[in-house]
Amino acid sequence: MGTAGPATAQPASSLPDLRLGQYDHSRPTLTGGGALHSPAQPKAVNGQYVVRLREAPVTSYAGGVKGLAATRPANGQELQPHSVAADRYRQHLGQAQRDVLADFGVRAQQTYTTAFNGFAAKLSDAQAAKLARDTRVAAVTPARLVKADAATTTAPEGQGAGQAAAKTAAAQKAAQTKPVHGSDVVIGVIDTGIWPESASFAATMPRPAGWHGTCQTDENFPATACNGKIVGARYFADGWLSAYGSLPEGEVLSARDMNGHGTHTASTAAGLPVKHAMVLGHDYGAISGVAPDARIAVYKALWGGSGTDADIVAAIDAAVADGVQVINYSIGSSMGDYQPNSPIGDAFLNAYLAGVFVAASAGNDGMSGMISNAEPWVTTVGATVERSHEATVRLGDGSRIVGTSMDRLPSDRRTPIVFADQAGSLDDGAQFCWPGSLDPAKVKGKIVACDFIDSVAAVAAVKDAGGVGVVLFQSTGNVRLNVIYDFPTVYLWSDEQAGKLFNYLWAHRSDGTASLVTGGDGSSLVGLPSVAGLSSYGPDQVHTGLQKPDLVADGIDVVAAVSPVSGGRLFDAYSGTSMAAPHVAGMAAVLRARHAKWSPGATASALRTSATDTRGTTSPLRQGSGLPRPASADDPGLVIEPSAAELKAFAAAANPDGKEINLPSIALREYDGTKPVRLVRRLTNVGTRTETYTARVDGLTGMKVTVTPRTFSVKPGATKTVTITLERGTATWDRYATGSLTFSSAKHRVRLTVAGRPWGFTPRPYDDTGIEFGRTGGQGQGFLEPGFTGPLAGRTTGYTPVAWKDKKLTTSVSGGVFSPGGVGTQATKIVVPRGTAGLIVQTASDDPDTNLDLYLYKDGKRVDRSWASWHSNERSVRFFPEPGVYTAYVHAQTAASSDVPYQLGVTVVPEQADRHNATLTTPASVQRGGSAQVTLNPVGPQPDVEQWAYTEFRTGRTTVPGLLISSR
| Catalytic residue ranges | 191, 261, 578
CA dist 629 → 591, 624, 689 (Å): 11, 14, 22
Q: Are the C-beta atoms of residues 185 and 205 closer than 8 Å to each other?
A: no
Interaxial angle between packed helices 577-594 and 600-609, expressed in degrees from 0 to 180 and rounded to the nearest 10: 110
Closest among 268, 375, 247 to 311, alpha carbons compared: 247
Q: Coil, strand, or helix at residue 914?
A: coil
CA dist 201 → 171, 306, 688 (Å): 9, 24, 37
CA dist 770 → 99, 611, 890 (Å): 53, 28, 19
- Angstrom distance (rounded) from CA 683 to CA 601: 12
CB neighbours of 102 closer than 8 A, spacing ≥ 6? none
Q: Please state the separation of Cα 834 from the chain's center in Å.
A: 36
Helix, strand and coil percent figures for the chain, each rounded to 5: 20, 35, 50
Alpha helices in 610-730 (DSSP H): 620-623, 630-633, 644-652
**What amino acid is encoded at 244 in this protein?**
Y
**Start-to-end CA span in the chain (Å):** 40
- Angstrom distance (rounded) from CA 111 to CA 669: 38
> What string of DSSP letters covers 17-68?
B--TTSSPPPPP---TTHHHHSPSPPPPP-SEEEEEESS--TTT--S-STT-
- Angstrom distance (rounded) from CA 361 to CA 52: 25
Prior bond of 222 cis (ω within 30°) = no
- Angstrom distance (rounded) from CA 603 to CA 590: 10
For 347-392, what is the HEC assignment? HHHHHHHCCCEEEEECCCCCCECCCCCCCCCCEEEEEEECCCCEEE
**What amino acid is encoded at 63 in this protein?**
G
- The beta strand positions in 164-322, using DSSP E, are 186-191, 230-235, 278-279, 282-283, 295-300, 306-308
**What amino acid is encoded at 935 in this protein?**
T
- Angstrom distance (rounded) from CA 621 to CA 308: 29
Interaxial angle between packed helices 343-353 and 309-322, expressed in degrees from 0 to 180 and rounded to the nearest 10: 10
Q: Phi/psi of residue 638, each to 5°?
A: -120, 150
- Angstrom distance (rounded) from CA 692 to CA 682: 15
Pairing between β-strand 704-708 and β-strand 749-758 as defined by DSSP bridges: unpaired
Q: Are the C-beta atoms of residues 476 and 499 closer than 8 Å to each other?
A: no
State the DSSP code for 731. Answer: P
- Angstrom distance (rounded) from CA 423 to CA 415: 16
- Angstrom distance (rounded) from CA 172 to CA 347: 36
